[in-house]
Chains A and B, each alone.
Chain A
Amino acid sequence: MLDRHSHWTEDESLVERFVLGHVPKTERNDLEDHLRVCEICQRAVMREQQLAAGIRRAGVEELKQRLKARVEVPARGDIPWPRILSLAAMTVIVVGVGIYTDWFGSRRQDQDLLSDQPPATSTPESQGRGQMTGEEAKDGQPKDVVRHDEPSQTRSAGGADENDKRSDVMDKVGRNIAAEGGKKANDEYAKREKSDLAIVGAETEKNELAAVAQGSMDAANRTEWVSGNILPSTSESKTKRIAEEQDKRESRQFKPLSKKYAAAETSTAAAQTFNGLAIGLSQQPSAALPLSQQNARRQRTIETQIYAANQTLNLTLFLDSLVDESELRNAVVEQVGGDSLIVHVANQRIGYRIPATMNVQNRAR
């Protein structure tokens, strides 16, 4: 029983337990009875209650804040659209630049090929189409089975004219690159060069761009780089069989080079057709690839330069080891669909997709 004349709130521990509800019910009733008549004790209990309430409130609010931080997701209205859109735009730009650089990088190799070439043999046409090895330079002839840098007697007259014309154009724009018509192209080139194209041999790219801008060269005639995919190998007999079957069908799409042109090393171009275009094949050592193109090489691909001149589609394959000339002469070209072809050479099958920019389907007369 509580002494009615004493202030139980003098026991601080008891006040704490009372406020926190840790006092047994019977004892609590006695304490409450005293509180009704004792203002001093009332004030003491109230102070303790305020203290406890403030501390509890602090605990609850801090816990709630921490919980919110853990589980909070932006409400629908709070989605930071400007931020998301700006990130999306940046992504598009980066991807776009990447694609553009990749595309442009695949075209700039023409110039690299020219870099080591002696000035005496460095005509714009030969610069654009192939690089001679030291041995080749001695006799002035590259070891291509099909040489694109000299007019072939068996090529159509139109094809030779086109190549001559092309050579003239390249020569002209090379000498006068700042001509009015080429200014725009030069500006475009200059912009690119600032970034990553300060590479050896950018002249052809520049010349071609200028020529296209001048209108003296069809954009579809520009040189393209493509990667030929080495397809699962097929046997020699199968290659022959394909050729024979094609012959039987009198297909214009592919014929074995050896049958009609065994005697003429430089005449293979007219033997192959792709969408009605003659195919000219030549080879270069992969060591002659420009450095940037070498870096871009992937496994099981053959880097190949393609350009179209009049009715001929010229392919220069850059091979790790050159094949025998007879292999090249016996190569077979198989058209697949409207935009792809497979070259069967030296027991290998190399697949190409011809860039749409070359407009091959509309070239055939």
Chain B
Amino acid sequence: MRATPFFLNDDARILDLIRKGDEEALALLYHANRAPIEAFVKHNSGNVADAEDLLQDALIVLWERVRTGRYKHEAKIGTFLYATARNMWLRRLSRLRREVAEEFQTEEPPSNDATALEVMIEEEETATVRKALDLLGEPCKKLLLLFYWEEHSMEQIALELGFANAETAKSKKYQCKKSLQGLIEEMRSE
């Protein structure tokens, strides 16, 4: 009988690690869940690289959900990851098929999706924010990531980053956000 490490069977412990921000939890889950997702993707027109990418995306979804408090532990983490990866892959396949079909259509069908130009503009805006964030410096970047990405409360942020209280954290966040917006404006005007 093949033994698996105890903690891999202990979802509660994995979730606890994620809540503490320990990224090792993701590596453990990656190795534990790689085989079934790889089998699924390879069986559905994908390859190993697709499966690896997909699993990483699914793990990030899990990370975000747990960190933002939106994860409901109703099934095993492995089941959640498999279902998430499966849905993501099927969506990608569906989009790919649609794109291929559109290439062969003479008349462009009406679409509610964003146009390519809109997507490009959006991606450019996002890239600008990312660059500005990198220029901002580590303390502000960390604070804004905790607030906007991980959606932590001001109390949590104060505790995590060592501020005196939530008000201090809020004040610091305000300064950081203004600095970021200033940098973005500068970059846009260049």
Contact = CB atoms under 8 A, between A and B. Distances in A.
Contact of B63 (A61, A63, A70, A75): A63
B148 A52 contact: yes
A50 B23 contact: no
B81 interface: no
B129 A55 contact: yes
B60 A55 contact: no
Interface string B112-127: 0000000000100111
A215 interface: no
Interface string A48-76: 00111111111111011011101100010
Contacts of A60: 60, 64, 149
6 contacts: A20-B151, A51-B181, A64-B57, A70-B26, A70-B30, A75-B49
B50 interface: no
Given A53-B125, A61-B130, 13 more contacts: A51-B129, A51-B180, A53-B122, A54-B129, A58-B134, A58-B141, A58-B149, A60-B149, A63-B26, A64-B57, A66-B23, A67-B56, A68-B56
B144 interface: yes
A22 to B, nearest CB: 8
A333 to B, nearest CB: 57
Contacts of A64: 56-57, 60
Interface in B7-41: 23-24, 26-27, 30-31
Nearest to B24: A70
B83 interface: no
Contacts of B127: 54
B157 interface: no
Contact of B148 (A51, A66, A71): A51
B134 to A, nearest CB: 8
Interface residues of B, number: 35
Nearest to B34: A71
A66 B30 CA distance: 13
Nearest to B123: A57
A169 B31 CA distance: 71
A58 B57 CA distance: 14
Interface of A: 20, 22, 50-61, 63-64, 66-68, 70-71, 75
A53 B30 contact: no
A64 B27 CA distance: 11
Contact of B125 (A20, A54, A59): A54
A56 B148 contact: yes
Contact of B145 (A22, A51, A58, A75): A58
B129 A53 contact: yes
Nearest to A54: B129
A53 B144 CA distance: 12
Contacts of B48: 75
A68 B27 CA distance: 9
A71 B129 contact: no
Nearest to B184: A51
B148 A67 contact: no
B129 A67 contact: no
A63 B134 CA distance: 14
Given A55-B145, A56-B148, A64-B60, A70 B129 contact: no
B150 A59 contact: yes
Contacts of B57: 64
Given A50-B129, A64-B60, A71 B144 contact: no
A67 B23 contact: yes
A54 B130 contact: yes
Interface string B164-190: 000000000000010011001000000
B24 to A, nearest CB: 8
B156 interface: no
B77 interface: no
A114 to B, nearest CB: 65
A70 B125 contact: no
A71 B31 contact: yes
B85 interface: no
A61 B63 CA distance: 13
Contacts of B49: 75
Residue in A20, A22, A63, A64 whose Cβ sees the most chain B Cβ within 10 Å: A63
Contacts of A20: 148, 151
B17 to A, nearest CB: 13
B158 interface: no
Contacts of B24: 70
B126 A63 contact: no
A172 B126 CA distance: 90
Contacts of B141: 58
Nearest to B26: A67
A20 B125 CA distance: 18
Nearest to B55: A71
B128 interface: yes
Nearest to B141: A58
A55 B149 contact: yes
Given A50-B125, A60-B149, A75-B48, A55 B144 contact: yes
A70 B150 CA distance: 21
Contacts of B125: 50, 53-54
